[in-house]
A = this chain, B = another copy of it.
Amino acid sequence: MAERLGLQAVRVPEELGGTGLGLEEQLLVHEEMGRALYGGPFVPVVGQVVPALLGLADDEPVRAMVRQISAGKLIVVPAFARWYDRNASLPVLRDGDNLSGVVPTVLEGLDVDAWLVPALDGDEPVIALVLAGDQHSMVTPLPSADLTRRFADVEFSGASATVLARGARALEAMEALETGAVLALSAESVGIAAEALAMTIDYVKVREQFGQVIGSFQSIKHQVSELFVLLESARSALAGAVDAVDQATAMRTASLAVARRRCGSTGFRIANEAIHLHGGIGFTWEHRIHLYYRRAKTNEVLLDERGTQARVLAASVSELYAHGNGIGRVP
């Protein structure tokens, strides 16, 4: 779908074969992907790899790669776990081109042409490119609750790698991979929530019990209103993150943490309530609402693995408030 529409080129500048639109437009596409539960590698390719490569696009081979991605001829996804799990270790690069390490739970890590792999060369961070098909790269598909998306563990054991960036440039690219995932999945969760709520509103307007549509019962009305408020709060969290991507680190980190927490939890909460408000039909296999519920849960944990973002957020805000500079103590 995305290939035919050329959506994978949404952010790529025109001179590299893209449509050159902005971040907000890109996120609208992710939101629509969420509404439609699109299952391909759109988030990792368009949300993560393209922004990361654009930061390295003074390099001609990288520019060529971006052109191929824009044209839908190349699928590159990150083999990177640290964007969702802060404690994940990175693969190790040896002899300048030899990569080893396991990257767990790689989003759409299967059937790709190449992986973009943040790694360590000694103490130095690098961004490596590993072409798929090598016998030194092993992909293990993982069963998942999310039926519209695939995950795999990717293990490199002496895989042949090309280094695209080192040091500060590599760190920037890693940050782009993380920010890209956060914004794309947050937008996707907003889309999931919006679609689940819309389906629910449509349903309660027609489903009758006790001689009236159930949407006329005040309890149902108020539940739906509360979900609407929650959805708007998630949209605000996402808007705040977009607004802060170019701000100083503390504000940027705090705002991204809010988007991670609020968009992820809202997607799950609304999908859950949507099932409930659909009554019995909502927990039958043939109704599509459970696919939203599954995806929403998956996004929730990817965006805030084990609730780690709360502390990230608190620490960033303390920095914003310039704590640590001393404050009067309450006895």
Contact = CB atoms under 8 A, between A and B. Distances in A.
Interface residues of A, number: 4
A268 B145 CA distance: 40
Interface stretch (A41-49, A119-127, A214-222, A236-244): A214-222
Contacts of A217: 218
A217 B219 CA distance: 9
A217 B218 CA distance: 7
Nearest to A218: B218
Nearest to A216: B218
A66 to B, nearest CB: 38
Nearest to A220: B218
Interface string A203-219: 00000000000000111
A218 B222 CA distance: 10
A222 B226 CA distance: 15
Contacts of A218: 217-219
A81 to B, nearest CB: 15
Nearest to A219: B218
A103 to B, nearest CB: 16
A222 B222 CA distance: 11
A222 B218 CA distance: 10
A134 B199 CA distance: 74
A308 to B, nearest CB: 17
Contacts of A219: 218-219, 222
Interface in A11-40: none
Interface in A180-229: 217-219, 222
A219 B219 CA distance: 5
A225 to B, nearest CB: 10
A217 B216 CA distance: 12
Contacts of A222: 219
A217 B222 CA distance: 12
A304 to B, nearest CB: 19
A95 to B, nearest CB: 30
Leading 5 A-B pairs by shortest Cβ distance: A218-B218, A218-B219, A219-B222, A217-B218, A219-B219
5 contacts: A217-B218, A218-B218, A218-B219, A219-B219, A219-B222
